Structure 1
Amino acid sequence: MTTTKQSLTVKEQAMKAQKASKLLAILSTEEKNEALRKVAARLETEYELILKANEVDLEEGRKKNFDDAFMDRLALSKDRVLEFAQGLRDVAELEDPNGIVKSQWTLDNGLDVQQVTVPLGVIGMIYEARPNVTVDATGLALKSGNAIVLKGGSSAIASNKAIVEVMRSALAETRISEDAIQFIDSTDREATQQLFTMKEHIDVLIPRGGESLINAVVDNATVPVLETGVGNCHIYIDKEADVEKALSILVNAKTDRPAVCNAAETVIVHQDWLQEHQEAFKNALAEHGIHAHADEYAQALIPGSDAATEEDWANEYLSRDIAVKTVSDVLEAIEHIEIYGTKHSEAIVTENQKNADTFMKLVDAAALYHNASTRFTDGGALGFGAEIGISTQKLHARGPMGLPALTTIKYMMTGTGQIR
């Protein structure tokens, strides 16, 4: 099996990725798809090697008393590895985002102008204890014609090294160079700092993880950053919300996978609705093991709840805890989201179309929902095949970032000898 050469410096790895990206950019769609299918097949046959490496990381996590949410993100199983492989096959079936003529026109002098999509070049991916990101990000990068330099968290280093070894070994049998996948296995912070400033070889950095990681990249990088964001997501239950619909959406958004960024962390409830449907609301929380941190009005109606603090309104719990805020109207709900939201995903549950329209127009977030769960803010759920992250910024890409987000444009002009 081919492995990443450990003697290489970060700069040397970035340079190798850059060289590989030039070859990758001219490959046909079918050549890239065939490579992804070979990588998928190799992941399936080598899953035991990956799980053995993952157990090393899990054992270290247990020794360090990592919490349940962290361990859930870190843990792999045969089924999860097979899901990775299927995800690559799904990406192979997607439309190639490159070579698309976005617009075309001819100038008065006869010069033909085309605006065409092309790869970004080399993507630097910095992420935490999520081995699935190693596969998802690589698959999207290769399909979109980009090389990738991976810098995963130290807590998943054994898992990531094994996954990368498997993927690179598969590429050795394809038209894509193994050097298109680089993995920085150093746990030294200096290696990450080097990646931040290597703009002559890295075209874009994508951080994926907690707030401290994202802020570190945004604050210190000289390489352009596609900023992903933490998810302090809100569900607003309006005065005219259907009870069954509201509680179903709330429970799903909070409990389906509490440790992911599109899970709800705060429920904002119209005080009249909560007063009228107190029993159904508190029973839903109790039945699904949801612990409330509530404001004074809500705490009086929810037995066993804690008094919410300022910290609770901004907290990304990643657990079955939830903050409960009561308001008198939709504008007060929007104001609360404006103060504490992270511009990720926000939802309103209401049968009042005017209130829904107000919410959808005024709330500033990458994804907004009317009568649906925030859990749909996901590349796979929205039909992108997979995602490399969820952007909460406004430049280049916003929301779940699939293949199109990993491209840029070129203007290509064809003439017959025109001069100016």
Structure 2
Amino acid sequence: VAVHLDYGNRAESAAECDYVRRWCERFGIIFHVRKIDEVKRATTRRDDYEKISREIRYSTYAEVMEQYNIPGMCFGHHRGDVQENVISNMMKGLSLLNLNGMQASSIVNGVRIWRPLLDFDKDVIFDFAHRYGIPYFKDTTPKWSTRGKLRNHLVPLLSDMYGEGFLNNLSALGAESTQCAELVDSQVLAPIMKSVGQSEVAVWVDCGLLSDQPFFVWKEVFRQICHSIMGNSMVREKPLHELIQKLERLDAGPVGKAKHKNKDAEVGSWITLKKGNRSFLTKDKQLIIFRDQFFPRKPYIGSQFPIVAGNSYSFGPWSVQTELLDVNDPKVHELRDHKPLTVWDLVHANGLSYVFPNAPQLVIDCDSRFHILRAIEKVITDAMPIVSSIGAFDNATSEWVHVTLSYSQ
């Protein structure tokens, strides 16, 4: 399967797409094209263009992998791309553990990426293409772009100043960066990553293990969580610093250094690590990062939606099952006497189960919270299709309603 992204930024891009299509058809290769119309390099803000086009790229890869049951995508990056990355990443102040910016095998935004040509210079690849008649397009990187200026101006200047061998030095520096990353991963990151748990609802990590670690370790841990586990882009530095400050307030205890009540140390606190994402830091330093879909922009179902006992419903990623049970049913006794449910019950079980006396009318009502649900933050239950009751029968009912809420992405 071949995936072609047509950005439409150049007049010849459509012709290139058609050529690749015909070449794939000639060799019996399934051709999948994604034409990008949402943004244009000439009219879209640069930061927005890079962000949106990247999201489109990786979502396209993920869709194709799922459609054809493919384990990963192969990219054509070569040794020169890595050398340019080392320069660019140093200038951007990125992680010392990832100067190469790419590995032979990695996971980016939840997509497995393979780069089999990283050990080869571009000249070697050209020679191979010429020898075996493999067509290719010339470099279309705009000369005015950062990558174009680096490739056409900075690299030749550095070669003139330090000699052609400086490229080998960049490769060696990138290789040492990778070796350091492997060492840090095995000796520092691995014990922390063992504390990371995940479910359909959320991912959680013990931030207490990070309390005494330098900031670059924080970044590496959250890079692995975001890319490899959640399939998202990386958290920015500012919210990570805010998270560290919240942990420091937890260390101050319930009273705090300023001798005032410290609510965070009593019940925990919410923090926004990324736009559209909500995370909860418990009082014992466990960070629960909810999956993006858990808190929808619009409710999956309106309040007061009628429910019929014994029926099943689906609201977005939620499934709701209801059944009527006799008051003497063991399940009623178990759930009726159950201690209040917590956020951990929800996270670990991907849902909740509770009972209440049957009533004349059953509805979805997040504001009507039974005692068993009150230990869960209201902002969480507000995002759930909580089944509640309206009114009561004149005589004590012998039937109870058993509700099971299940979350699945």
TM-score class normalised by the smaller sequence = under 0.3
Q: Pick 1 or 2: higher relative contact order, CA cutoff 8 A, min separation 6.
A: 1
Question: Looking at CA atoms only, which structure, 1 or 2, has the larger radius of gyration?
Answer: 2
TM-score in terms of structure 1 length: 0.25
